Amino acid sequence: MGTSVDTATHCPYCSLQCGVAMRPAPPRPPVIEPTEFPTNRGGLCAKGWSAAELLDHPDRLLTPLVRTDPADRRSPFRPATWDEALGRVVDAIRTSQERYGLPSVGVFGGGGLTNEKAYQLGKFARVALRTPHIDYNGRFCMSSAATAGNRAFGIDRGLPFPLADLAEAQTILLVGANPAETMPPAMQYFDAGRAAGATHIVVDPRRTATARGATMHLQPTPGTDLALANGLLHIAIREGYVDEDYIATRTTGFEAVRQAASKYWPDRVERLTGVDETQLRATVRALATAGSAMILTARGAEQHSTGTDTAQAFINLALALGLPGKPYSGYGTITGQGNGQGGREHGQKADQLPGYRRIDDPAARAHVAGVWGVDPDELPGPGKSAVEMLDALGTPGGVRTLLVFASNIVVSAPDRNRVRESLRALDFLVVSDIFLSETAAQADVVLPTAQWAEEEGTMTNLEGRVLRRKQVLPPPDGVLDDLTFMSTLANRLGRGEFFSADPRVVFDELRRASAGGIADYAGITYERIEKEDGVFWPCPDEGHPGTQRLFAEEFATPDKRARFIRVDHRDVPEPTDLEYPYVLTTGRIMQHYQSGNQTRRSRSLQMTAHDPRVELHPDLARQLGVAANDLVELRSRRGRAVFRALVTDTIRPDTVFAPFHWGGAASANALTDPTLDRYSRMPSFKVCAVAVARVGGPTDPAAASPPPLSSESRKDG
């Protein structure tokens, strides 16, 4: 428990995991100040500065909630003891298992859970519940980039080099990312690079704050990034920029990719993407002639039904130019969620065991089962991915009882209306959270949990740096952390001997379970993390320094060579037409995070971003008769949402942009397309066809601004 004047810990939000010092200031929440941690070096964004506001927020859940009528999910909630709440949960689990079998119980996790909780959640599903059905909201975030990285390099680590290396790269191509708004402290490295003369090129359908500071901005039609990447590779080949020696000695498969790229003539790519041929050539020249160059992708390129192939196309370009493994060069992807990296390494995904092992690999099953003390044959096989599991809720053969941890899927999953109907089809829903989210509002039992400053554990940031999250103050009376809840519930299910509530014990077991795997944490200890400002994985033993930079000598494939993989552009699954003539793309804004379950409750953040706004180009606004601050309805084949209009020339005239942080009437994911990537099972968040219409003036009631979250949630419940 933190008793010193200052406790060094980390911001609870994005994957930078900025270092902060927290000073107790009773009776108020602790005071937060940034520290000189390597990712933020004294910087902090508005979300980080305001994070402590939520620790004593009046909407905070402080007791379990159950329905007054257990048979009617429309009945109101009432407070309950932990004994009663856990009793209802255990009864529901056993009833489902007896009636429908072990796979009828499922678990949905989150990318904000500590490594210890993510690891134990995967173990809990497979050992306590003995179900294959576990997945998490990282499937909506990093899965396409992870799949592409594993296929090409044999390993998935968002950045295979420290964040500070960005300041040293002479050219950076940044595709589908807006760190100036989503992770502002990282911009100091981009700024330092530009100040030293670096060329930065941003690919984005919006002229974002990041794009405005770049040397060049490519503004493609949403959904055409793959064609853009193949077009850049075509130019690199035609103009003699490829590194033939690197290709021959460090890669395989280039000839098939060379053949595929031959079809992507610059004029064809210009027609497909809307990016001028001169910009295409200038981009290739900047990458190929620099002494060091990086290609970075993020969700704008990856949250598509072709997201894996798009990431693969940019990897192909990086390999052709000989970048991965060279100093201050390479390919990387920018992880979004706080523990998006660690959360996908240790067993929350439907097809994975700890250490990034495949659950269908007999050797992996034997190793992990040995650590867990169970028979490998007891471990279930792969389950369904997130959207596929949600689609099958309540159906024959699907999950009938679902446990949700730290995820607000009603707001964050695509096709919100279908998700809500699926949740209502469940026999029983349990949600563990700190506030009554839109998802918790539909539950049978809601369980309060500890917040970030009230628990111990580790996180893994976007660089693959494993760091300590320290407890600053205890949870409120009556609130359990998730490790305690899992071990207590496992005990009631007769499997308690396999689980601990002590994060250090859980982490030491994680180290053993990950040993020898791709994401090897065996040599990382709490003491090393504190002493060394975090430790980079893979780190196979305590004498190993950790691996800050990957690929300098070899790749993690069986033959140590990187893989070129042929990919081709495909049209978006939902093209525009006369009824839905515009393209919607979604994303984040500076003041809010993920589903907004936390940030929409922050008083200071609400002051600067209360209304969700849709961005429209002035030409489109004039055509529709829309003025600034008018109410605008977006309609897709799945639903409707209402926003205030933000008229701006920073977006393409054929495209509208909406943030996805809000629920209620302004839920962007009421509109989005659930079509999945064939490899990663990532939904197509970033492009769908919509109609746009003015529905009210600037003084009309703000239909886009739902009432305070707590009252909205209780109403929905």
Helix axes 503-514, 362-372, angle to 10 degrees: 150
Per residue in 580-636, pLDDT (tens digit) is 999 999 998 888 888 888 888 888 888 887 889 999 999 999 999 999 999 999 999
Inform me whether the pLDDT recorded for 707 exceeds 50: no
pLDDT of amino acid 3: 46
The pLDDT tens digits for 268-303 are: 999 999 999 999 999 999 999 999 999 999 988 999
Using one digit for the tens of pLDDT, what is the confidence trace for 377-414?
999 999 999 999 999 999 999 999 999 999 999 999 99
Neighbouring C-beta atoms of residue 552, cutoff 10 Å: 13
H-assigned helices in 15-81: 46-50
pLDDT tens by residue, 499-527: 999 999 999 999 999 999 999 999 999 99
In this predicted model, what pLDDT tens digit does every residue of 657-669 receive, in sequence order?
A: 999 888 889 999 9
Q: Is 596 left (phi over 0), alpha (psi -120 to 50) or beta?
A: left
- The torsion of the CA quartet 697, 698, 703, 706, rounded to 10 degrees, works out to 180
Q: Residue 592 has what pLDDT?
A: 85
pLDDT of residue 142 exceeding 90, the answer is: no
Judged by average pLDDT, the poorest of 137-146, 246-255, 293-302, 571-580 is 137-146
Residue 710: what pLDDT?
38
Indicate if the pLDDT at residue 711 is higher than 60: no
Q: What is the pLDDT of residue 708?
A: 42
pLDDT (tens digit per residue) in 314-339: 999 999 999 999 999 999 999 888 89
Architecture of domain 582-716: Beta Barrel (2.40)
Q: Return the higher-pLDDT residue of 355 and 141.
A: 355
Highest averaged pLDDT of the listed ranges 1-5, 171-175, 693-697: 171-175
For residues 644-671, average pLDDT = 94
Q: What is the reported pTM?
A: 0.94
What was the pLDDT predicted at 713? 35
Q: Report pLDDT for 716.
A: 32
Domain ranges of the chain: 7-54, 65-141+354-536, 149-334, 582-716
The percentage of the chain sitting over the pLDDT mark of 70, rounded to a whole number, equals 97
Per residue in 420-473, pLDDT (tens digit) is 999 999 999 999 999 999 999 999 999 999 999 999 999 999 999 999 999 999
Could you report the per-residue pLDDT of 55-76, keeping only the tens digit for each? 999 999 999 999 999 999 999 9
Mean pLDDT for the chain overall: 94
The reported pLDDT for the residue numbered 47 is 92
What is the CATH class of 65-141+354-536? alpha beta
CATH number of 7-54: 2.20.25.90
Looking at residue 709, its pLDDT comes to 45
Question: Which distant-in-sequence residues (6+ apart) come within 8 Å of 314 by Cβ?
Answer: 173, 175, 225, 229, 295, 297, 301, 331
Looking at residue 702, its pLDDT comes to 61
What CATH number has the domain spanning 149-334?
3.40.228.10
Choose among 115, 122, 79: nearest CA to 479. Answer: 79
Tens digits of residue pLDDT in 188-233: 999 999 999 999 999 999 999 999 999 999 999 999 999 999 999 9
pLDDT at 341 over 50: yes
Are 429 and 423 spatial neighbours (Cβ–Cβ below 8 Å)?
yes
- Report how far Cα 325 is from the mean position of its chain's Cα atoms: 25
Above 50 in pLDDT, residue 103? Answer: yes
**Which residue has tokens 């990712």?**
39
Per-residue model confidence (pLDDT) at position 78? 97
Longest dimension (CA), the chain: 72
Burial class (CB in 10 A: 0-12, 13-18, 19+), 592: buried
- For residue 533, pLDDT over 90 is answered with yes
Pull the structure tokens for residue 402: 């679902």
